Structure 1
Amino acid sequence: MAALLITYDLNKPGQNYDSLYEKIRELGTWWHYLDSTWIVVSSLSPSQAFDRLKPSMDASDRMLVLDITKDTYSGWLTQAAWDWLNAHV
C-alpha cells in the first residue's frame, strides 16, 4: 500500500465538486485536514489514482498526485494530524 498526496486547485467558481471528493474517498483510507489536500492510503499508483479522479474535474482545474513516505514529510500540524500520518504513512 502507498500513501498518496492529492492536492488540487479547483478553478471554476460555484462548481459542485462532491463527485470528486467521493472519488477521492473511494481510493482508500483517507485524511483531509488541509483545504485542498488529501492523503489516501491506496494500492493504486499516483497515475492510476489520477486517472480515476480526472473525469470529476474541469479542464481549468489542476491536480498533483504524489507517492509519499514517512521520511518525506514535515510540517506544522496538530497532534491528531501527526498521529494519523504516523499510523498510516
Structure 2
Amino acid sequence: MSKDKFYIITIDNDNYPRTFDKKKFHNQLTTAVGVKAWWHYLESTYIIKVDYLINSNHIAGFMVEIAPDKKYFTSEIKLNDINGWLPQEAWDWIKENSNLNNSFE
C-alpha cells in the first residue's frame, strides 16, 4: 500500500531574473510526473503531494532543471500540527488532501 507524502517548496522571488518565467515554472512544477496535487496560496511557496517513493533529492534535481540559478528550499512536511493565517480554500485543500478530520476555524 503506497502512502502519499507532502513537500514544501519555497523559491526565492527576490530579484527574479527577467528571463525567469513564473508561469512556465508553475506549469512545469504542478504537472510534473509524480505530483498528485499541489497547493500555491503563498506567492513563493508550494506544497506538493507526491508518491511515497519521491524524496527531496528528486525534487531538488527537478528544481535545478526548471529553475536554474534560483535559490529554493524543499523539505518533507507533516500536515498534522499546523497553524497560520490563510484563505479558507488553502485550509480546505490541506484538509482534503491530508485526510485531516479536524476543521481549521
TM over 0.5: yes
Q: Which structure has the greater CA radius of gyration?
A: 2
- Aligned counterpart, 2:87: 78
Structure 1 runs, 4 residues or longer, greater than 4 Å off: none
What fraction of aligned residue pairs are identical, expressed as a percent? 23
Superposed CA RMSD = 1.8
The structure carrying a bigger helix percent of its residues is: 1
Q: TM-score, normalised by structure 1?
A: 0.82
Query: Is there any run of 5+ residues in structure 1 with no aligned partner, and where?
Result: none
Deviation at 1:72, TM superposition (A): 4.4
- The one of 13, 33, 40 aligned to 2:18: 13
The structure carrying a bigger strand percent of its residues is: 1
Q: TM-score, normalised by structure 2?
A: 0.71
Higher relative contact order (CA 8 A, sep 6+): 1
SS at match of 2:73: strand
| Distance (Å, rounded) in 2 between the aligned partners of 1:72 and 1:14 | 38
